[in-house]
Chains A and B, each alone.
Chain A
């Protein structure tokens, strides 16, 4: 059996345990419902075309041409009655006047108006609401996912320590293989859940006829977000595992993982607060802790040159390698210390695992 097979076995157990965990299934289900609700419901509530009652004639033709649901009636009184009864949204009577109950029927007014020609100079510019929401969304997704699944990796490590099953595992497979399996299992779970939610959201948006330009604008940002997300997650995952190994009981975890929690939370807040500050965003898009959020946001806002994400991703990848090394060393140095919480420096100096290699 190869090392790869063993890593796969460890990762598969992590995933299988999670897929049978009711809390995990429920939370995933709820996220999916939110994704569906967020994309499909606005379309449903927006309703179909406005309905309008009008006497047959050129006005009726114009309204039909504008795509409205036209109901032809015998006279203006009948049209008004339909409005009052709530059978139609509006009516057009002699004048022409437009009748409606309490809501101005914009589409009807527009269909009857003479409008000047409009030429958009930047037809693809981002809706300001979206421009605000998208960095927030990237930040939130990275923050929430790495916190949730990072904590799960730490808990799984602590569980093995607390239940002492770790000694059997370490007598069977190398410590680093165990760590690799946990990190990969956690990454697959995190990315899998995220991909599922995104997929459901996108299908929902498509069904609900979201404006095409939003999706096409988002696509490259999401395309970049994926490698940033995966590397950013892996960079922290080994550190989460190390935090789990430092603790001896689940109760120790909050304290042991505090530095990582801050490393996840601060960049999230900073990107939200400073998203209008170009200089800050540029700097943050290169810092490994904030790059997974800041760089896709800059790409979405079209602020970044083509080479910038490549460079930032390179920095992130190197940092991830270094952090995996640091995490692995702390993990190895603390995994078998079962009396109380292990200090990070003690774990770092412990070279038992290194002596065992070979």
Chain B
């Protein structure tokens, strides 16, 4: 049964270094939660504590409100940052072994493997030794190893690193299948564009502390600036003289600009609602000068949000 995974006030030190500081966040059922942060920020440590590979100094991890036990964890799926399976075993043999260690019967494991290797595109390689496979296919086998027992929670440390774009799509589709069955999925990634496309929720960690956590669209809204992009036919240089407009970038007919009114509104906590009139004024001015090919607010990319919170 899938549940809500909650990390509550986790602390962990290695030697004198505090690797996790009061880490608190949720991984909700049926949602893909992206876990981003710089190298050494504490992603892997947090994941290892969830899986019971490391102990926390204080704080708790709960599953549907109950303290995590080994029996719960046995039904979790995990893909560690440092990859590895048995090089001399065939894909099928090692998936069978891992599936059985997770408590599945031989019959159930065999059924799961057949479906899984086909979906991951390594069906024809299933009876080859791992070391005979290309690195990309080894990576797919690694993902299969995390999924073979139909886990109730998935924790994937950098699942997309080393994958070509097609494999990224395949793995994304497979992860979507998991959330469709209600599984909470937590994955870390350096590839912010991938996280941006994929995740429902986002957790940003920096230097062991959670910097931001929540739904991706809410986070994005919270970090949206009153910034607009415009594309006209002529030169957009006139924007510089427009009152209340700060040009961020100008390249002939294309310009990116901030609205001062929006800034003030944001400072006042009203975000960019009132900017509605300011931006319309700029648009009218542009139309008066000629055709407008594009006009709209610029949503911050995840990379920008990340840079913002990690500052």
Contact = CB atoms under 8 A, between A and B. Distances in A.
Q: Are A and B associated in one complex?
A: yes
Contacts of A163: 84-87
Interface stretch (B46-54, B173-181, B260-268, B276-284): B46-54
B145 interface: yes
Interface in A2-51: 6, 9-10, 13, 17
Nearest to B157: A167
A170 B53 contact: yes
A168 B80 contact: yes
Contact of B52 (A1, A166, A356): A356
Given A163-B84, A163-B85, A171-B76, A9 B53 contact: no
A306 interface: no
Interface string A132-174: 0000000000000000000000000001101111111111111
Contacts of A169: 101
A355 B53 CA distance: 10
B55 A164 contact: no
Contacts of A6: 101
Interface residues of B, number: 28
Contacts of B87: 163
A51 B100 CA distance: 67
Contacts, number: 66
A312 interface: no
Contacts of B52: 170-171, 356
B102 interface: yes
Contacts of A336: 53
Contact of A172 (B55, B83, B89, B101): B101
Contact of A167 (B55, B80, B89): B80
A1 B103 contact: yes
B53 A13 contact: no
A104 interface: no
Interface string A225-240: 0000000000000000
A352 interface: yes
A352 B101 contact: no
A171 B85 contact: no
Interface of B: 48, 51-55, 70, 73-74, 76, 78, 80, 82-89, 97-98, 100-103, 145-146
Interface of A: 1, 6, 9-10, 13, 17, 159-160, 162-174, 336, 338, 352, 355-356
